[in-house]
A and B are shown apart, each in its own frame.
Chain A
Amino acid sequence: MIDLANEIWQTMRNNKLRTALTGVAVAWGIFMLIVLLGMSRGVVNAFDANMGKRGSNAINIYPGVTTEAWHGYKMGRYIQLKDGDKDVLESRGDNKIGRVTAKVYGQSMTLSTDRDYAMTYYEGVFPSELSRSGTTMVAGRFINDADIDQKRKVIVLSLKMAESLFANPEKSIGETVRFGNLSFLVVGVFDSRWSRQVYIPYSTARMLAGNTDNVNQLVVELDNVRTLEDGIAAERTIRNTLASIHDYNPQDESAVYFWNQFNQHLQMNTGMSILNITVWVIGIFTLLSGIIGVSNIMFVSVKERTHEIGIRRAIGAKPHSILTQIILESVSITTLFGYFGIILGTALTAVIGHFIGEQDGFLNPGVDLSIAFEVTVVLILAGAMAGMFPALKALKVKPVEALRDE
């Protein structure tokens, strides 16, 4: 093994300039691949951070306005979703429709403590809202079933809100905030990157709204769905059911609005895979030009060394040792310079990450160990491919070549 390495080192050293020029092409290809992968990783990371944690099995339904006349009703009728809708949906007995919950939005509200006051608005929610929205708690707990049953006056604050009302979010748990002439017990604080609202129990929110049946949003949790078609079928069932309750044309797409988180999640995942594949394809093709360069150089090298290969064959080199030597030479050039490219590419993505690492749609670009490993495999395969054809050509050199005068 050392001998083989030594042989390769000698031939590479023998053609310094040629080796270096070829190597630069490979290093450039790998450099591009790494930078592209690092950047796309940044986009994927941002996606994961923004939306990846959000529940992926829910369909949200919002009230809309009809655009068609139906059963004697004029068009332009507002469809008000009702609390009873969720029970009707659940009792449909469709195996794709799991639990159905609802949300009530409050008007803007002013919360105050002894320290400060703040404007916000509330959402009356079920416990499942936490996972559906992908929110994480930083202190305390979220709304629970007992809160709903007992219509407790408890509240979950956003981090910003807790900071301004209590200075220390941790200390806000167990304290009360005033809302008009009511006081709410703070039970939890959630991490708010984007949301500004506060959460209270669904039942409490309905009470605040004057015990109407009106709700602002229905949330259907899906079961047994795997494909986009499943998601669309579930949507269809819900649309038809609601159409029969509220008496509108089931084909009227704007009577109620749908946000299908399940299908969106599938599409986003597909999008991310396509992004990843695209980046690999672009990177590999960039690398390919470098690899073809290596292959070319190896051809020249084999041509130049025909006589030498003949001598080696005459004094007893077996075909496979010639083959191994040429291929390993090619693999050495590719991996050696490939690693220069990896190092430079990693350095550049690190620099980019340092300067613009925390922007919207872009988070922590960079390459991890698995990418480095994949790229190493690519390099070795590419080097072997590049060396393969020149090596096969070298195999055709007959030992008689040794007797031919140069």
Chain B
Amino acid sequence: MITLKDINKTYPGIVPLHVLRDINLHIDKGELVSIMGASGSGKSTLLNILGILDNYDSGEYWLDGVLIRNLSENRAAELRNRMIGFVFQSFNLISYKDAVENVALPLFYQGVGRKKRRMLAMEQLERVGLAERAHHLPGELSGGQKQRVALARALITNPSIILADEPTGALDSKTSKEVMQLFRDLNTDRNMTIIIVTHDPGVGEQTSRIIRISDGQITV
């Protein structure tokens, strides 16, 4: 599903910062992996590259058979929209849109009609168990509920991978477990490829493989 070959990334500056050094990585379809590393280890940069949010300097990144390199902004946006489902630490829901509108938003950028969008969004909300909260604004939802709405939004385009950035970072231990359970269910029931970036060993333990990164290199 994901193949990284000799990925290098340097942030230019007076003292150039070589954040990723010859990263080689292979993730199969249906894997649930976690990327762990201390802050400054380059794990965020790796996440940005995996999420097509940032470019890399050399190497190759293959996502679901597509070579992700030197894309135009439009093409990158299109690929993000169709292939990647993002789950963020701070949920990143749009505050003035209710749950169902938030979930439907990626489809808006695909040009899907209004009715169909709402229908599909309701389906996803049902799947994460929040159908009765569909018309609540994010401010009226608990942290766990918000993260489930975000997950529904990530799933609505039926992406190739789910990319989660510290998905439990803002949650208490009980809701963390619930959310992690949801990820595991997605992985086992729907064979969804999931990559979770975290520094929480407890989260890492619940994934089938841990990729450790330190000083811009994969150590394990």
Contact = CB atoms under 8 A, between A and B. Distances in A.
Contacts of B97: 10
A75 interface: no
Interface stretch (A17-25, A129-137, A275-283, A398-406): A398-406
Interface string B26-54: 00000000000000000010011001011
Contacts of A314: 51, 53, 80, 86, 92
Contacts of A320: 74
Nearest to A15: B96
B92 A400 contact: no
Helix, strand, loop or mixed for chain A's interface?
Answer: helix
Given A403-B53, A406-B90, A317 B48 contact: no
Interface string A189-203: 000000000000000
Contact of B86 (A11, A321, A402, A405): A402
B150 to A, nearest CB: 10
Interface stretch (A35-43, A305-313, A380-388): A305-313
B66 to A, nearest CB: 15
Contact of A312 (B90, B105, B110, B157): B105
A3 interface: yes
Contacts of B48: 400, 403
A146 B86 CA distance: 97
A307 B73 CA distance: 18
Nearest to B77: A318
Residue of A11, A14, A311, A313 with most chain B CB atoms under a 10 A cut-off: A311
A189 B86 CA distance: 88
Interface in A1-52: 2-3, 10-11, 13-14
Nearest to A308: B94
Interface residues on A, range: 20 to 34
A319 interface: yes
B106 interface: yes
A2 B111 CA distance: 12
B48 to A, nearest CB: 6
Interface string A321-359: 100000000000000000000000000000000000000
A318 B106 CA distance: 11
Nearest to A316: B81
Nearest to A320: B74
Interface in A125-157: none
A319 B109 contact: no
B89 interface: yes
Interface string B56-77: 0000000000000000011011
A369 interface: no
A402 B88 CA distance: 8
Given A316-B110, A319-B77, A405-B90, 7 more contacts: A315-B80, A317-B77, A399-B77, A400-B53, A402-B86, A403-B88, A405-B89
Q: Would you list the 7 A-B pairs with minimal beta carbon distance, nearest first?
A: A316-B81, A316-B109, A318-B77, A311-B92, A14-B96, A315-B106, A399-B53
